[in-house]
Structure 1
Amino acid sequence: MTVISDQEIADFSADFNTNSKNQVASRAARRSGLLEASFNDRVSERLNHVFSTELDVGDVTDQKHSGRCWEFATLNVLRHYFGKQNKVKDFTFSQAYNFFWDKIERANAFYDAMIRLADKPLNDREVQSWLAFAGEDGGLWSMAINLVKKYGVVPSYAMPESFNSNNTTGLIDSLARKERKDAIALRKLVSEGSSQDELEKAKKHFLNEVYRMVSVALGEPPKKFDLEYRDDDKKYHLERDLTPREFVQKYFKDFKFDDYVVLSNCPNHEFNKLYHMPLYDNVDGGDQIKFLNVPIEYLAQAAVAQLKSGDAVIFGNDVLKQMERKTGYLDTELYQTDKLFGVDTKMSKADRLATGEGFATHDMTLVGVDEDHGHIRKWKVENSWGDKYGHKGFYEMSQPWFEDYVYDVVVRKEFLTDEQVKLAEGPAIDLKPWDNIG
């Protein structure tokens, strides 16, 4: 390591003061903050609220202080489908219900992994990945669908939001601490030569405790409910004593869950390959969490085609990059901090992924697109942060932002090429838990 000399410090200061614009930029940044000082209000010229293709959807939802965007986005797609089929635009599903079962299923997957990896040291990279993942509330479309397939869904009134579903920090912190302690106990049992029956007994005991914790925090999920609503024509509907699974079987019988594919754009991995993320396999016996990695233009093409068919599109993205909540703008030229600093921090998407600068932090839903003779101008985005941000909760996203910060879209197979369909139905390459695939 080399020491920074006094002369170098003097040179840095002299260089800074050579250009008077640096002092102007510094005063503006110190007064109003870096982002406000570099805000480019001209993006409003291209991010208006008019779209050539736009779905008729109801009000937005609000995930509050939780990492459940993936469940909100998934259930938004399902509620739009239910609304269209039954002419009830603002019907909503309970995120708390599916979140409950996510905590149970994920604990089960964690305990299985700890038993399977018990012969590896605690500082093993795979073991550490699982320990870091304990209790987490983030997830993906395929994980949410696994839960819907196994446990069904319920209306929001059947299991409403509570303090702990809206603010998940306390629950996930408690679950993470418990699961990590249980991991030590399971590893000890394995090292002592315990039988499979003894390990299963211990795991069942731990899962019972997890069930108790989640029930205290969220309440037990309903076993049956009455489906009751008034449609957009003011006609009243009532169906008594439905189970959550019966609800899905009856009202989503034509929704082909298995026809959906996650198309990703992660240029730090080889394109036209199907990848599997074992760390995210949340339901034992459920579908594996897989994605097909392709160039970005295929994500845009498939998303446009699905929107034009009348269906919304879930997409994973790095929402905190070049986004303003107040306006709901998502644009690569929104904050011009490089010009403020006089530096160049532009990186390729592959380099951002490889260095940890880029990764998906949020799931949202595409509900509109604006095209001019096939050229995509912007997208309409349904977020799950309530209606106080953006345009009544909807955001406007430029196509350059889509190309830079969108990492996956969930689309039906009919909007893929024949070769992509074959790849999506073929064998997948297992990824390591620490691989950054957006």
Structure 2
Amino acid sequence: TADRPVDDRTVAWLLQRGVEDGGQWDMFVNLVRKHGVVPKTAMPETESSSNSARMNSMLNYQYRQGAKQIRDSYAAESGLDQMRASKQKTLNAIFQILSIHLGTPPAQFHWQWRDRDSHFQRDGEMTPLEFAEKYITTPMEDYVCVVHDPRETSPAGRTFTIQYLGNVLDGPPIKYLNVDIDLIKQMAQHMLEDGKPVWMGCDTGKQMHRDLGLWDAELFDYPGVYNADFSLDKAARLEYHQTRMTHAMLFTGVDVVDGKPRRWRVENSWDEKVGDKGFFLMNDSWFAEYMFEIAVPKNYLPADLQKAWELEPIVLPPWDPMGSLAA
């Protein structure tokens, strides 16, 4: 985008969004397959891993400064080598900032532990990729992401991707399949009944009581309090920037009555001091209005949608709300 003006909508969006917390299921899979994972004992939590605002501020400074340097080199016709040198300098600074705030990922570590019966276990020296290969038993590549996007511009049964959205060079693209919300509920329920937790993305701040850990579509009576109309439907809220995916969590249980879900148990990542020791309760009415995405094994999809998954995705612009969870 160096040939575009800085106030071009795409350039402005990329500079504005910068680096934030968040990510898609496919991004997690890409990272694990390229770099692996480590136990927390090998790379403990830090202050910045749960309080990332200052770190992100420093990362965004380098990101935007690097963008200016590359664009200046392009404008001065300094050549591709100079632009690549500026890019590498920026990446080096970003890696250093991340290492200072989060620690440097270990290339190898010794893995030993006591099991639930207090028996000592040892695997010896391992790499992050070896650890992932041995201990991640979920077939991550078999999962696909389905979303509920009711806008008329987003036809059901089609796949979508977001321009410029990705986190690993040459990694698989971030892709979604748009389906009906009732199908998302059915698949999430079936996964939980099969003993599988469900990764999901939603607009977490709407109609939420943080301390009690509650979500309900009518938790707060805003029309009654303000004597005003609050009647935008889900599609309109997406189109007019009143809703978007803001947070990823995990379904760990569902309350089913007469075969239909009534309430959902959600494991959050904020803190054990909120909700019920970190767990929230979601009313099914909230699911319909503010849930957007789950990751599901492909074989849970109906046969026609399994075929639809193979379609070439429609490319949405980088500012589309369907890409917001990764920002």
TM bin (shorter chain): over 0.9
The answer to whether structure 1 residue 400 and structure 2 residue 292 are counterparts is: no
Task: Show the 5 A alignment for 1:76-225.
Answer: 117-225=1-109
Question: Once the 2 structures are TM-superposed, how far is the Cα of residue 245 of structure 1 from its aligned partner?
Answer: 0.7
User: Is 1:261 equivalent to 2:144 in the alignment?
Assistant: yes
CA contact (8 A) 1:277 1:433 kept: yes
- Offset, 1:137: 2.2
Q: Give the aligned partner of residue 337 of structure 1.
A: 222
CA distance in 1, matches of 2:111, 2:231: 52
Structure 1 position 215, deviation (Å): 1.7
> What residue is the counterpart of 1:23 in the other structure?
none
1:327–1:390 CA contact under 8 A, matched in 2: yes
Q: Residues 328-351 of structure 1, C-alpha deviation per residue, up to 9 Å, x if partnerless? A: 111112111211222220221000
- Which secondary structure state, in structure 2, belongs to the residue aligned with residue 280 of structure 1? coil
Distance 1:391 1:202 in 2: 48
Task: Tell me the secondary structure at the aligned position of residue 96 of structure 2.
Answer: helix
Q: Which runs of 4+ in 1 moved over 6 A?
A: none
Q: Is the 8 A contact 2:203 2:290 kept in 1?
A: yes
CA contact (8 A) 1:330 1:396 kept: yes
- More off after superposition, 217-226 vs 303-312: 217-226
Q: Which has the larger radius of gyration?
A: 1
AA aligned opposite 1:259: D
Q: Work out whether 1:348 is the aligned partner of 2:236.
A: no
How far apart are the structure 1 equivalents of 2:220 and 2:124? Answer: 53
Using the TM superposition, give the Cα deviation of residue 376 of structure 1 relative to its aligned residue in structure 2, in angstroms: 1.2
Offset at residue 199 of structure 1 (A):
2.6
Question: Paired residues, what number?
Answer: 321
DSSP 3-state at the match of 1:279: coil
Corresponding residue for residue 366 of structure 1:
251
Asked if the contact 1:266/1:293 (under 8 Å) is kept, the reply is: yes
> Following the alignment from structure 1 to structure 2, what is the Cα–Cα distance between the partners of residues 325 and 171?
25
What per-residue deviation string (whole Å, max 9, x for no partner) do you get for residues 106-131 of structure 1? xxxxxxxxxxx111111111111111
Indicate the larger mover: 131-140 or 149-158. Answer: 131-140
User: TM-score, structure 1 length as denominator?
Assistant: 0.71
1:3-59 C-alpha deviation (Å, 9 max, x unpaired): xxxxxxxxxxxxxxxxxxxxxxxxxxxxxxxxxxxxxxxxxxxxxxxxxxxxxxxxx
Q: Deviation per CA, 1:51-75: give whole Å up to 9, x if none.
A: xxxxxxxxxxxxxxxxxxxxxxxxx
Which residues of structure 1 form unaligned runs of 5+?
A: 1-116
Query: Which residue in 1 is equivalent to 2:120?
Result: 236
In the TM superposition, residue 244 of structure 1 has moved relative to its aligned partner by 0.5
Counterpart-to-counterpart distance in 1, 2:134 and 2:201 = 29
Same amino acid, percent of matched pairs: 36
Q: Following the alignment from structure 1 to structure 2, what is the Cα–Cα distance between the partners of residues 185 and 388?
A: 44
5+ residue gaps, structure 2: none
Match 2:306 to one of 400, 421, 424: 421
* Structure 2 contact 250–266 (Cα < 8 Å) conserved: yes
RMSD: 1.5
Q: Secondary structure at the match of 1:370?
A: strand
Tell me, yes or no, if the aligned pair for 1:278 and 1:289 is still in contact at 8 Å.
no
Matching residue's letter, 2:159? L
Provide the residue aligned with 1:326 in structure 2. Answer: 211
